[in-house]
Amino acid sequence: MNEVAPANTDRAHWHGTENGYTNRGCHCQPCRDAHAGYTREKRNQPINPALCPSLLNYLRRCRCDGCRELHNRTRRESDARARNKAAGR
Ligand SMILES: [Zn+2]
Ligand SMILES: [Zn+2]
Indicate whether 6 belongs to any domain.
no
Q: Is the dihedral of CA 86, 22, 35, 76 positive or negative?
A: negative
- Predicted local confidence at residue 52, as pLDDT: 97
Ligand with smallest separation from the Cα of 21: 1
- Asked if the structure places residue 38 within a domain, the reply is yes
pLDDT in tens, 74-84: 999 989 999 98
Nearest to 19 by CA among 7, 3, 9: 3
Q: Can the peptide bond before residue 30 be classed as cis, meaning omega within 30 degrees of 0?
A: no
Ligand nearest to the CA of 55: 2
Number of domains in the chain: 1
Inside any domain, residue 13: no
- For 5, 11, 12, the CA distances from 8, given in Å and listed in that order, are 8, 9, 11
Is 11 domain-assigned? no
pLDDT digits (tens, 9 = 90+) for 6-39: 554 556 899 999 999 999 999 999 999 999 999 9
User: pTM to 2 decimals?
Assistant: 0.60
Are residues 58 and 68 in contact, defined by beta-carbon separation less than 8 angstroms?
A: yes
Domain limits for position 51 = 18-86
Q: Is residue 1 part of a domain?
A: no
- CB 31, CB 15: distance < 8 Å: yes
Q: Which ligand is nearest to the CA of 11?
A: 1
Torsion of CA 69, 72, 78, 83, to 10 degrees: -130
Domain assignment present for residue 60? The answer is yes
